[in-house]
């Protein structure tokens, strides 16, 4: 057995190579935890949009991009801050 206990491929030439491969994977973040770079980046962008909205007095239903965009669009349409002045449950009729 030349591989470390957590090795998935178990095909490394030596214990050292295995450790190295493991270290590289860790450095690139852990896909197993759902924290790959792309997702992290998207999450950051979503959060930035959310913060922008909140700064304008808007309170989206969630930090989810779709919720943020909906809240901003509704706010633009009505000229009022979604989540503060009204929300999805508020009747917009009349
Ligand atoms: Zn290995």
> Is residue 13, in this structure, part of any structural domain at all?
yes
CA of 41 to the centre of ligand 1 (A): 29
Three-state DSSP state, 55: helix
Q: Which residue has the tokens 């959060």?
A: 47
- Same structural domain, 52 and 72: yes
Distance CA 73, CA 57 (A): 13
Distance CA 40, CA 46 (A): 10
- Give 68 or 8, the one with higher predicted confidence: 68
- Same structural domain, 42 and 22: no
Model pTM greater than 0.75?
Answer: no
CA of 39 to the centre of ligand 1 (A): 26
CA of 38 to the centre of ligand 1 (A): 26
- Same structural domain, 67 and 52: yes
CA of 13 to the centre of ligand 1 (A): 8
pLDDT (tens digit per residue) in 43-92: 788 889 999 999 999 999 998 899 999 999 999 999 999 998 888 766 55
Structure tokens at 83: 């989540």
Structure tokens at 67: 């919720």
Residues 6+ apart with CB under 8 A from 55: none
CA of 17 to the centre of ligand 1 (A): 7
> Is residue 89, in this structure, part of any structural domain at all?
no
In this structure, the number of other CB atoms found within 10 A of the CB of residue 72 comes to: 19
The predicted model gives 27-55 an average pLDDT of 74
- Same structural domain, 23 and 51: no
Domain limits for position 44:
37-78
> Is residue 84, in this structure, part of any structural domain at all?
no
């Amino acid at each position: 057995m030349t591989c470390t206990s957590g090795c998935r491929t178990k095909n490394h030439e030596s214990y050292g190579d295995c450790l190295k491969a493991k270290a590289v994977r860790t450095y690139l973040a852990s896909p197993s935890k759902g924290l790959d770079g792309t997702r992290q980046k998207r999450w950051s962008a979503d959060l930035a949009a959310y913060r922008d909205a909140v700064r304008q007095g808007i309170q989206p239903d969630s930090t989810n991009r779709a919720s943020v965009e909906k809240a901003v669009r509704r706010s633009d349409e009505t000229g009022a801050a979604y989540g503060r002045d009204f929300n999805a449950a508020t009747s917009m009729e009349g």
